[in-house]
Chain A
Amino acid sequence: MSIAITTQIICFTVLSLIILIGALGVVLLESIVYSAFLLGGVFMSVAGLYLLLNASFVAAAQVLVYVGAVNVLIIFAIMLVNKKEDLKPINDIKSRRIISTSICITLLSLLIRVDLTNVWSLSNPQNSIGEESTIRIGEHLFSDYLLPFEVASVLLLMAMIGAIVLARRDVMSKDISTGLPVDQELIEKSSEPLLTNKN
């Protein structure tokens, strides 16, 4: 990449800080809507990191797929299930928090130790194909990765059909587990016609 090293370091630091603070916000913030929008910011910053790594095609795919599709899908899901509810308190929440946090910190220290102590067999930067990466990805996708590429298209078709089947509004008369009748208002919302004659 032709940018000066100082600029690269500044860009990397800013993008990493946005990613890490945004990710903490995603898991810690009280409001789920703020989390969803912060997640979009995290995805955009990850695309910026890909640009620093000379991968313009993957950065564009990241912006299109994650910010354009996945994040919008999550925001739609939040709108569809947006109900204020008071969560029941859990008795052993404190011990759960302690156990999960200690597991995460242990895993993190292990990973960072591996990152720092392992000797990576870095290749010669002279061999780098740099900005030609899009051409090379196309060659891979249509030669040695042709079968995974076709399987991925079948997978996307299956996921699309599966999502439609699962999310379709089937009217169930009673709950599967409790046997109680399901509140039909939640399935088909009855709405007043807009042009009713009030008098």
Chain B
Amino acid sequence: MNLESIPIQAFLIVSSVLFCIGIWGLLNSRNAVRVLMSIELMLNAVNINLMAFSSYIDNNLIQGQVFTIFVITVAAAEAAVGLAILLSLYRNRVTVDMESFNLLKW
């Protein structure tokens, strides 16, 4: 097999598997910090996708790389606010168990 470069499908499959691992962690974690980590994993999967498309399909204008930079910005803001919310929850409820945050459940 004569390859010029790594096929784009390899990057896309890695990003798909990473995204699904992130969703599994988001649904199954009981520790709120681990939920935030799973969200970061999913954002990274999306970033790998954008970078692969930028490099293989739009390799002159590379708008995907600009999008990745914006996603990194939003992820940093999300992590800061998410962890602040987690701290104030912990102060009120003295636990990080996701099952005990049922204030909005009827």
Mostly, the B contact residues are helix
In the complex, number of A-B residue pairs with CB atoms less than 8 Å apart = 251
Given contacts A19-B18, A39-B37, contact A183 B44 (CB under 8 A): no
Asked if B11 contacts A121 (CB within 8 A), the reply is: no
Asked if B65 contacts A163 (CB within 8 A), the reply is: no
Asked if B57 contacts A155 (CB within 8 A), the reply is: no
CA of A101 to CA of B72, assembled, Å: 28
**Interface flags, B52-93, vs A, CB<8A=1, else 0:** 101111111111011011101111111111011111101111
Report which residue of B8, B13, B80 has the largest number of chain A beta carbons within 10 angstroms of its beta carbon.
B80
Query: Does A176 touch B at the CB level, under 8 Å?
Result: yes
Number of B residues near A (Cβ < 8 Å) is 80
**Interface flags, A182-197, vs B, CB<8A=1, else 0:** 1100110000000000
Asked if B38 contacts A26 (CB within 8 A), the reply is: yes
Asked if A27 contacts B29 (CB within 8 A), the reply is: yes
Closest beta carbon of chain A to B78's beta carbon, Å: 8
Asked if B103 contacts A177 (CB within 8 A), the reply is: yes
Closest beta carbon of chain B to A166's beta carbon, Å: 4
Q: With a CB–CB cut-off of 8 A, which chain A residues contact B66? A: 137, 140-141, 145
Q: With a CB–CB cut-off of 8 A, which chain A residues contact B29? A: 27
Closest beta carbon of chain A to B16's beta carbon, Å: 4
**Interface flags, A142-158, vs B, CB<8A=1, else 0:** 00010010001001101
A binding-site residues for B, Cβ under 8 Å: 1, 5, 8-9, 12, 16, 19-20, 23-24, 26-27, 32, 35-36, 39, 42-43, 46, 49-50, 52-55, 57-58, 61-62, 65-66, 69-70, 73-74, 76-78, 80-81, 83, 85, 87-88, 90, 96-97, 100-101, 103-105, 107-108, 111-112, 115-116, 120-123, 125, 127-129, 133, 136-137, 140-141, 145, 148, 152, 155-156, 158-160, 162-167, 169, 172, 175-177, 182-183, 186-187
Beyond A27-B34, A55-B65, A73-B79, 17 additional contacts (C-beta under 8 Å) are A19-B14, A42-B44, A65-B73, A74-B36, A74-B40, A78-B33, A101-B24, A104-B24, A112-B13, A116-B13, A127-B60, A152-B74, A155-B74, A160-B80, A163-B83, A167-B84, A176-B92
Q: List 10 A-B contacts (CB under 8 A).
A: A8-B5, A26-B25, A53-B55, A54-B55, A74-B83, A80-B87, A104-B27, A155-B73, A160-B80, A172-B91
